[in-house]
Amino acid sequence: MSKFTARIESNRWTPADEEALLETWGQEEIYAFDPRAKNLYSVDTPPPYLSGHVHIGQLVHYTQIDIIARYRRMQGLQVNFPLGIDRNGLPVELRVEKEFGMNMHNTPREEFVRKCKEQLDMYEEEVVESFRRLGISFNAYSGDGVYRTDSPKYRAVTQATFISLWKQGLVYSDYRPNNWCLDCGTTIADAEVEYEERQTTLYYLYFQVERMEPIKIATTRPELLCACGAIFVHPDDERYREYRGKKARVPIFDIDVPIIESATAQVEFGTGALMVCSYGDMADVMAFRNFGLKPIPAISPEGRMTDAAGKYAGLSTSEAKKKIVEDLRARGILYKEESINQRVPICWRSKTPIEFIAMDEYYLRQTEFTDALMKIALETKFFPDFHRQILIDWINRVSVDWPVSRRRFYGTEMPIWYCNACGKPVLPEPGEVRYYQPWREDPPFNKCPECGAENGFKGEERTFDTWMDSSISGLQIIGYMRNDALFRKGFGNVIRPQGKDIVRTWLYYSLLRTYQLTKKAAFKEVWVSGHVVDDKGEKMSKSKGNSPPPKPIIDKYGADAMRLFGILEAGLGSDVRFSEDRLAGVSKFMTKLWNISRFLSMFPIPPRMQYSDLTAVDRWILAETNKMIEGIIPDCELLDFHKPATDVKSFAWGFFADHIVEMLKARCLNTDGSFTAEEQQSGWYVLHETLKVILKALAPITPFITDRVYRELYNKRGIHREQFPSVNAEWQSPLTKETNLVLQTDAALWKFKRDSNMSLRQGIPEACIPGRLKSWAKDLKAMHGIQTLRFTKPKGTGFTQVPIPESDEFIYVKGAQTAESSK
Ligand SMILES: [Zn+2]
Ligand SMILES: [Zn+2]
């Protein structure tokens, strides 16, 4: 038996081993955050929105964010990384309505709110368990380290910030058309509107004009005829010169509308004459305003035609369209139909077309802040830098104020009461941070400051747009309005990691709200990742069947493999394509890393050695290790761990395992005593030093296996309190120039053995290799069992010439007796 035995006993690393580490981490509270520390760094992680089961793409996204937190922690920063859960807002309400066949507006509010809570709790348990299983290093998984956007504590701050903005005069109420999602049953902000190409029909109609030929109109929305307010023709359009100033008669409804010159009419679209309807689209809304036309609301908030639609009243918009088209056709008014592609505004959440509907809503001023926000957008660090453009483009498009009131139940209540005498809105005094529920409680005042009456108040029933809550998560996590000491220390050192799909909502609103409250930039750094899509680049969704449930996959391949996969697949900002096959491939690296570590675990760990006391080969190995670290640091500093992960993996596998460990094996074992004790010790030292660097460089990415090996071999406190590797100025060697030649010579020797049907352990009587490799002579001899190694051209016969790959040099090897001939 060898005198060396592996200290790492288990010969296999399995995903189940990760569970034991989770226990240890929990008990040791190794990711706990100490708010008294000086160098705070806060991670404003997107609190996941709970609207259904957690999916794999979401989880990969969070592992990427966790890598940032772990990297910063290993840089010595005190990382504030709370687990947050976003629970306010629409999706859960819609889910409850669907799942329990309820209608929110016909259900007692208490009951509805309770049902939402139950659903949220169920999904929360699942997502939190997935986070824990993947090793997301949140400060804590329960207690104070966790926040929920629907907790009284969180909502109290949301309300207090609103009261403060109200007192600054930044909130007003107005009746105006807004984006209205029929599916979600609510007003939505511009930031939540997307555009999609859809196929639709363009209908060509005649509108009668007195004593003239009828004017021809093309429209995609004949159901809005009853809301028509004018016909626009372009000033340069010669076809309609005679029609200007005349009136056209809207068919079926027989309303006379003016024909007006406007540059908004497009000469090339349809007939060039444009039917302008109340609330048809945003351009129509503007046109009505600009020409002082009186709007005729044709569609109700429920998506039905209003009384203005006459005999079509009560029909849904699509039914009405069908009926009106039939009638127009029957009367010979419809003379042509054409299929076209159209850019349709759709709701960001439900992906269904929106309507414009006028309602009374509260607005938060934002148009007057765009200059300040643009400055912040340009000054804040973005990782990757190119995603800054999404924000800039959005700020350039902001043109109306933000409607922040919602007619929903499950959200933070607007802290407003209305005086029974004068009807004026009254808010609690700013300063006090308290959670108010005006729909069920009396106000904290009894006298109206406007009229002095004490006639009681009626509570506001509306809630806030959910972005009002989530846009201050970055302030909430550093104790804004609750813990001044923490806030003073933490503000200015916050990173916002998030997906690119919520730049114009979550990021933009966070910058807006923080600026309104503090006059400062919300974040020091903004990190924007791509999406996780399926193997073909398609969005993953359960309905498409391309979004497998995550648990079985994590159980099978382990958290480390999942984490490493997500980072190897794409650079920061680009989409990650999920593929189980490639994940399986990545998981093989875990096995490799375990095998190398276990092998090295049989060698003692010598006390710290001087670099100059190491052998030349060992100095070269550390110099190569140093080069690897030097190569990955710039990308780590850009919080893009794609290249670092790729490089460390290929260093560990392609260089360290395949060449170095093999090369030093003979010296480290020193079975025949051909090496000195110093040379042997130098080998042990360097193998362990290199493994330590590999483990530390991988620790943020694969925290489980690296911690386990580190605990077994180097430090019982584990790897996650260690410093991330840095460049070691001392580790330099001129031999790194020859690295490729060494590796390829090594490869050529192995190839020779294989081609000569030799066993890999069989010795070689004589070999000649390039003279530049002298420093490696002893290790190469020992590794390949070469009896005579020369650095000259071969003398005599019996040599085989083997080309050294990637060079124009050769090695010459004297063929040993083959296995057969030696018998
Ligand atoms: Zn919607
Ligand atoms: Zn009053």
- The ligand whose atoms approach the alpha carbon of 355 most closely is 1
Spatial separation of the C-alpha atoms in residues 419 and 545, rounded to whole Å: 54
What are the pLDDT digits (tens) for 367-408?
999 999 999 999 999 999 999 999 999 999 998 899 999 988
Q: How far is the centre of ligand 2, averaged over its atoms, from the C-alpha of 155 (Å)? A: 27
Ligand approaching nearest to the C-alpha of 426: 2
Chain-wide mean pLDDT for the chain? 93
Distance 461 CA to ligand 2 centre (A): 18
Q: How far, in Å, from the CA of 455 to the mean position of ligand 2?
A: 8
In the reported structure, the alpha carbon of residue 186 is separated from the centroid of ligand 1 by a whole-number distance in angstroms of 8
> Distance from the CA of 423 to the center of ligand 2, in angstroms?
6
pLDDT of residue 797: 86
Count other C-beta atoms under 10 Å from residue 346's C-beta: 20
Q: How far apart are CA 603 and CA 713, in angstroms?
A: 10
Nearest ligand, CA 450: 2
Average pLDDT rounded to a whole number, residues 299-313: 92
CA–centroid distance, 233 to ligand 1, in Å, is 34
Round to whole Å and give the CA distance between 490 and 506.
Answer: 20
**Which ligand is nearest to the Cα of residue 183, counting in written order?**
1
Q: Which ligand is nearest to the CA of 419?
A: 2
**Cα 420 to ligand 2 centroid, rounded to whole Å:** 7
pLDDT of residue 128: 94
Q: If you measure from the C-alpha of residue 194 to the centroid of ligand 1, how many angstroms do you get, rounded to a whole number?
A: 11
Range among 78-92, 343-357, 706-720 rated most confident: 706-720
Label the pairing between strands 215-219 and 186-188.
Answer: unpaired
Q: Does residue 700 contact residue 71 with C-beta atoms inside 8 Å?
A: yes
Query: Given this model, what pLDDT does residue 316 score?
Result: 94
Nearest ligand atom owner, CA of 187? 1
pLDDT mean over 461-489: 96
**Cβ(81)–Cβ(31) below 8 Å:** yes
| CA 449 / ligand 2 centre spacing (Å) | 7
* Site of tokens 């050529």: 748
What local confidence, expressed as pLDDT, does residue 745 receive? 96
What's the CA-to-centroid distance between 444 and ligand 2, angstroms? 15
**Is 644 within 8 Å of 635 (Cβ atoms)?**
yes
* Cα gap 137→152, rounded to integer Å: 26
DSSP conformation letters of 190-248: GGGEEEEEEEEEEEEEEEEETTSPPEEEEES-GGGGGGEEEEEE-TT-GGGGGGTT-EE
Closest ligand to Cα 422: 2
> What separation in Å is there between the alpha carbon of 10 and the centre of ligand 1?
53
Tens digits of residue pLDDT in 51-89 = 778 889 889 999 999 999 999 999 999 999 999 999 988
Q: What is the mean pLDDT of residues 467-480?
A: 97
Nearest alpha-carbon partner for 561 in 576, 542, 580 = 580
Is residue 817 pLDDT above 60, yes or no? no
Q: Give residue 101 CA to ligand 1 midpoint distance, Å.
A: 18
Residue 252 structure tokens: 């079926």
Query: Which pLDDT does position 320 carry in this prediction?
Result: 95
pLDDT confidence bin for 145, thresholds 50/70/90 = confident
What is residue 819's predicted lDDT score, i.e. its pLDDT? 41
Least distant ligand from the CA of 188:
1
What is the predicted pLDDT for the residue at 820? 41
Q: What is the DSSP letter of 424?
A: -
Dump the DSSP string for 125-160: HHHHHHHHHTT---S-SSGGGEEETTSHHHHHHHHH
264 is written with which tokens? 């908004």
Q: What is the largest CA-CA distance in the chain?
A: 117
E strands of 572-669, at which residues?
A: 576-577
Nearest bound ligand to CA 89? 1
User: What is the CB neighbour count within 10 angstroms for residue 339?
Assistant: 8
Q: For residue 458, report the distance from its CA to the centre of ligand 2, in Å.
A: 11
Q: pLDDT band at 823, cuts 50/70/90? A: very low
Residue 1 has pLDDT above 80, yes or no: no
**Per-residue pLDDT averaged across 531-559, rounded?**
89
How far, in Å, is the centroid of ligand 2 from the Cα of 237? Answer: 56
Distance 172 CA to ligand 2 centre (A): 18
Global pTM? Answer: 0.90
Distance (angstroms) between ligand 2 centre and the Cα of 441 equals 18
Q: Look up residue 791 and give its two tokens.
A: 């650095």
Please state the rounded mean pLDDT for residues 788-817: 89
Report residue 50's pLDDT band, with 50, 70 and 90 as the boundaries. Answer: confident
**Which ligand is in closest contact with the Cα of 91?**
1
Percent of the chain predicted with pLDDT > 70:
99
Task: Give pLDDT tens digits for 232-265.
Answer: 999 999 999 999 999 999 999 999 999 999 888 8
What's the 427 CA to ligand 2 centre distance in angstroms?
Answer: 12
> pLDDT at residue 185 above 50?
yes
Distance 397 CA to ligand 1 centre (A): 21
Q: Quick one: pLDDT band at residue 2, thresholds 50, 70, 90? A: low
In the reported structure, the alpha carbon of residue 413 is separated from the centroid of ligand 2 by a whole-number distance in angstroms of: 21
Confidence of residue 796 (pLDDT cuts 50, 70, 90): confident
Question: What is the Cβ-side half-sphere exposure of residue 160, based on CA atoms within 13 angstroms?
Answer: 18
CA 352 – ligand 1 centroid, Å = 6
Confidence band, pLDDT 50/70/90 cuts, at residue 650: very high
Q: Which ligand lies nearest the alpha carbon of 353?
A: 1
CA of 406 to the centre of ligand 1 (A): 13
Residue 279: per-residue pLDDT: 82
578's CB contacts (< 8 A; 6+ apart) are 56, 57, 60, 532, 533, 534, 535, 540
Give the Å distance between the CA of 229 and the centre of ligand 1.
28
Q: What ligand has the least distance to the C-alpha of 457?
A: 2
For range 175-190, the mean pLDDT: 88
Given a cut of 50, is residue 124 above it in pLDDT? yes
Q: Which ligand is nearest to the CA of 455?
A: 2
Q: What digits encode the pLDDT tens for the residues 327-338?
A: 999 999 999 999
Question: What pLDDT sits at residue 170?
Answer: 98
Average pLDDT (565-580) is: 93
CA of 346 to the centre of ligand 1 (A): 8
Confidence of residue 541 (pLDDT cuts 50, 70, 90): confident
Looking at residues 641-647, what average pLDDT do you find? 98
Ligand 1 centre to CA of 115 (Å) is: 21
Dist. CA 756 → ligand 2 center (Å) = 101
- The amino acid present at 287, given as its one-letter code, is A
Residue 4 Cα to ligand 1 middle (Å)? 66
Distance (Å) from CA 413 to ligand 1 centroid: 21
Ligand nearest to the CA of 421: 2
Q: How far apart are CA 667 and CA 674, in angstroms?
A: 8
Least trusted range by pLDDT, from 290-299, 357-366, 425-434: 290-299
